Amino acid sequence: MFRRVRARRARRAQQQPQPTTTAPAQQTPQAGQTPSAAPMGEDGFLPQELRPPAEVAGRMMRWPQPLVIDGTVQRCPQCGVDRDWLLLNVGDRIWRRCRSGHETYEPALSGRWFDQFSGPTEAVHTTRDAGLAALGFDGTFAGTTL
């Protein structure tokens, strides 16, 4: 399936006329500002209107199926569960969290990977704990797989 998507994107890129203007110079952020990432719409990711607000500290995404990285199904080191994850993205780091509340850092995954698989923003929570509780990953459903 992904080969077809990549091939379709490559065909579209070849069919689009090349711009004749030069790209604007990279602006350096002023003191107190944080540099912004390249717009995802240009890379084939979510367009600007579907992304979370810039002031959001992190993002969360449910991952109900088993998480396979480099051919290995990832399991929770504490309780052994292998599916029904909440993936947490802060900057370029990804953590996976089971329903029991155990978190494990995933160095093999990046923010770019998260951008490829995340959908549009469905809700914005005021705190991390409020988001975990709203999605059911605060330990309330410990030992269950939904």
Residue 21, pLDDT score:
33
Residue 16, pLDDT score:
55
Q: What percent of the chain has pLDDT over 90?
A: 21
Give the C-alpha separation, 55 to 58, whole Å: 9
User: pLDDT by residue (tens digit) across 10-44?
Assistant: 776 666 544 433 333 333 334 333 334 444 455 55
pTM comes to 0.61
Average pLDDT over residues 42-56: 64
Report strand pairing: 103-105 vs 72-73: unpaired
Tokens of 14: 């070849």
| Strand intervals (E) in 19-142 | 59-63, 68-69, 72-73, 85-90, 93-97, 103-105
